[in-house]
Each structure stands twice: as C-alpha cells, then as structure tokens.
Chain A
Amino acid sequence: MLVRQFSISTLIFVFVFLIQESVINQLRLPGGGFSLPILIALTWAALSTPTVGALTGFISGFFMDLSQSSSGAMGHWTLLMILACYAVAFLGFGNDNLRGNPITNIILVSSASVLCLVAFVITGFLLGVSTGSFSRVLITILGNGIWAFLVTPLILPVVTRLHRALFGNQAHI
C-alpha cells in the first residue's frame, strides 16, 4: 500500500469512526445495532490483498480502540481486526468466484463480523473484560449478525467504488 493510499484510507476510516460515534451509536438500534468500522473494514479487506487487509484492520481497529465506550484494552480491537481483515482478504485473494460475487461477499463480511465479536468476547474474557450475562452477549452478537447482513449490501457498492478509485481495478464487483 502506497503512502498516498494509506493516508486516504486512514482519512476514510476517521470519517467512518466519526459517523459511528456521533450518529449510529445514538440511534439506539434494536438488537444492539452494528459497528460500521467493522463492516467497512471487512468489506474493504474482502476486496484487497492480504497485506492491504492487515493494514486496513490495523487502522480501523486502532480507531475502535480509541473510542471511550470500548471496554477492551487499547490494542484489543486492533489485534482482532488485523487478524480478521487479513483472514478475509486471504480467503478472497485470487479467487474471483468469491470476490466477484456480491452475495458471497455479504455472507463473508457478515460471518466475519459475528466471528469478530465472538473473538472479542473470548479474548476479552482472558484479558479480564466484563461482558455481562451470557444471554446479553448472545443477543448482542446475534443482533449484530442480523444488522451486518442487512447493512452490508447497502455499503458494499459505496466501498467498492471507493476501493476501486483508490486501488485501481482490483475490485471486480
């Protein structure tokens, strides 16, 4: 990733972070809502090379860690998002059947979003983060999965265009 692409990507994720903190968090959506930085980072990674995916995860995860409402340690989301975005990019890289199909991408991103939260809960448990009752955690994760499945189709065209404008013709959707 060139410095210019890295800088512009960072600006995009700053904007996404602002939208999440100032708008989406305040909507008080049923089922716990969704995390726009997670969805956009995973979608972005699904269109990228594994290297760009890992960097994308680092940027988005770092901003998620900066949020005051983040209960995990600083770097917790960063680590998870690096691994998740790298894994998503790795799965899609070089596989046009996977990358070129919007439905597959939506399922991939939604599943990865749910797995991110599950990983957050498990690693948070190891790091001493309180996550509440099991039922509450389950509702949040399931709600997030449903929201991810609904929201990803809406953001996919926008992210694809932005990605194409920044990285050239790597995205095929």
Chain B
Amino acid sequence: MRYGGEGRARLLLIILIVTSLFLITLDLRGVKILDGVRNGTQNVLAPFQKAGSTVVTPFRNFFSDVTHLGRTRNQIEKLKADNARLRNKLLERKSADAQLTQLKSVLDLAGKAGYKVLATRVISQGASTSFSQTITIDAGTSSGVRPNMTVISGEGLVGVVKESFLNSALVMLATDPDFKVGVRIAGTQQIGILSGRGSKRAELQLLDNQKIVKVGDVLLARGSTNNRPFVPGIPIGVISAVDSSAGSIAQSATVMLYPNFSALGVVSVVLNAGKNNPGDALVPVAPQPTPVPTVTIYATPTPSASAK
C-alpha cells in the first residue's frame, strides 16, 4: 500500500463496503437467495452443533455452577423435576378421573392437554451478541417440525419455531424482544398481548380496563387460528408487578415467565393440538407447605430423684 497502491487499497475498501451495503439492501428487500444461503449454513452447522453439545455439556455445567454460586446443576435439575412433579400431581387430583387416566406422565405438560408433541434436545443457543433470544433444537422438517409451531417445556411456553431445516430448527424464545403472544388471564378470561423484553420478565398489555389484574394472576396462551403459531391453554407466566399509573388507556403489567430459559435442555414441539381446548386446566398449582407436627413432651420428676 505504501508503494503506490493507495488508490487500489481505497478502491478495494469502497468495493467491500458497497458489497456489504448491497447485501443489506437485498436482505431488507426479502431476496430469497440470502435466506437459502443462511439455511444451507445451518444445515451444515447442525452436525457440528450436535457434536459440540455433547462435548461441551460438562463445561457448560461448570460455568453454570459458577454462576449459581456453588449450587450444582444436578441438584437444581432434580429439585425442579420434583417441584414440577408435585405441582402436576396436585393439579391432577383436582381434575376429573377420566382426564387423570389419560395422562401418561405427570411431568408431561403436553400430555395433560392432549397435544401430540415431539421431544427434542437443545443443541445450541443463539449468540447473545446478536441481541436475539433463540435456541436450536435437534429436530427439523424430517421429523415434522414446521415454522410457527409452539415449543413448550414442562413448565410452560418456551417459544415458537422460527425456521425449520432438515434436521434442526431455530426457536424464537418467549424472551426475544420480537416475541409477541396473545394471552388470557386464567379465571377472569381477560385478554392481552405479551411481549418479550430480552429477560425472564415480559411485558403484558391488556386490551381493556374492565377488570383489574393483580399480582399472582396466571397467564395462559390464548391460541391462534388452526393452533399456529400458538396452541391454547399453555401456561406462560405469572404477573409479578402491575403498572397502576393513572391515565393510562390500557393496563400493563410485568410477567415472570415460567420456564428457566438459561437451563433449557429438552423441549417439546407441539405437532398437533387436536380440537380440545384445555381451558384453565394447565394452570400450575402453587406448592402447598407441609404442616410441621407439634410434639409436646411432659416431664415428671421421679420420687427417688426428688428424695435425694
């Protein structure tokens, strides 16, 4: 460059910048060939991501343990599984016996709703530097996974299939800033729109002010036409704070989403929701504290001891 090539260097820089601007323009105009390039890349990457997932799992747990200040991943997973099992058991006792016999697993949320689901493994998490919240699962079009299918975990709604490839699929998490889902409040049936905010807390905008929402109200997915992208009745989260600012047209609230998005290992894609709407049947029941028995001990001094 220092030997008379400055002009060429500048020309090269301009060509590169123009090329990138050309790519941006094509992408914003929705040219399909660029999607094809990205899809092809994902198809190539999927086997590497699967292999990487297997190799990285022990290290992932190590970093997670450090983050959680010494609590081990296995203990957390076991407690979560126990908690989910107990919550589901309590729910089943209140449900009809006929519904109870149809349940194959107390941990299977989709089983209770009668959904046909496909269990998949999370093989990759989207890069946080892109500011999107996505995961990649190890099932794709070859397993019947299509875009706009609901993805759930044992705790509730995880997200929706954004892109589907041959043996993998990209899932937009409920925490993604672009994520929006129609919801209703269990019990009052009040409806609203939930938007992701990039963290486990999401934002709820209610469509009217007729009924007052309160902290602790449970949100369920309202469902979409033909159950795509959302099947009805899936638990989403619980209201953790209500914005009671005077003069607002519609009520808004902060919602704590049910799933733990940082520890997603296995999720299920709802392939077919059937025709039954589970209504409020999937509302998780808060665990009841076990009463501690009180033991009263009466001590009577023996006559021989008092004589001495």
Q: Residues on A close to B: CB < 8 A? A: 18, 20-23, 25-30, 32-35, 38, 49-51, 54-55, 57-58, 61, 65-76, 78-79, 82-83, 86, 94, 117, 120-121, 124, 127, 129-133, 136-137, 140, 143-144
Contact = CB atoms under 8 A, between A and B. Distances in A.
Nearest to A70: B130
B127 A127 contact: no
B132 A69 contact: yes
Interface of B: 1-2, 5, 8-9, 12-13, 16-17, 19-28, 34, 37-38, 41-42, 45, 48-49, 51-53, 55-56, 59-60, 63-64, 66-67, 123-134, 136, 163, 170, 176-178, 196-199, 262
Q: From B22, B125, B126, B131, name the one whose CB has the most chain A CB atoms within 10 angstroms.
A: B131
Contacts of A130: 131-132, 176-178
A51 B13 contact: yes
Given A22-B52, A74-B38, A82-B13, 19 more contacts: A30-B67, A34-B129, A35-B127, A50-B1, A54-B13, A54-B16, A55-B12, A61-B20, A69-B132, A71-B130, A72-B130, A73-B24, A73-B27, A75-B22, A75-B25, A129-B131, A130-B132, A132-B131, A133-B197
Main secondary structure of the interface of A (DSSP, over half): helix
Nearest to B201: A133
B134 A28 contact: no
Nearest to A34: B129
A129 B176 CA distance: 11
B13 A68 contact: no
Contacts of B2: 94
B1 to A, nearest CB: 5
A79 B20 contact: yes
A82 B12 CA distance: 11
Given A22-B45, A127-B24, A132 B177 contact: yes
A55 B15 CA distance: 10
A28 B21 CA distance: 32
Given A66-B37, A79-B24, A51 B9 contact: yes
A69 B127 contact: yes
30 contacts: A21-B48, A22-B48, A23-B55, A23-B56, A25-B127, A27-B63, A28-B63, A33-B129, A34-B129, A35-B129, A51-B8, A51-B13, A58-B16, A66-B41, A67-B130, A68-B41, A69-B125, A69-B132, A71-B130, A73-B23, A74-B34, A75-B23, A75-B26, A78-B19, A130-B176, A130-B177, A133-B177, A133-B199, A140-B128, A140-B131
Q: Is the interface of B mostly helix, strand, loop or mixed?
A: helix
A101 B127 CA distance: 31
A76 B132 CA distance: 15
A150 B59 CA distance: 18
A137 B197 CA distance: 11
A22 B26 CA distance: 28
A75 B129 contact: no
Nearest to B264: A28
Given A26-B60, A86-B13, A71 B131 contact: yes
A50 B131 contact: no
B129 A140 contact: yes
Nearest to B199: A136
A79 to B, nearest CB: 4
B60 A27 contact: yes
A152 to B, nearest CB: 15
B239 to A, nearest CB: 18
Contacts of A65: 23
Contacts of A140: 128-129, 131
A85 to B, nearest CB: 10
Nearest to A116: B129
A8 to B, nearest CB: 18
A110 to B, nearest CB: 14
Nearest to B39: A68
Contact of B197 (A51, A66, A136): A136
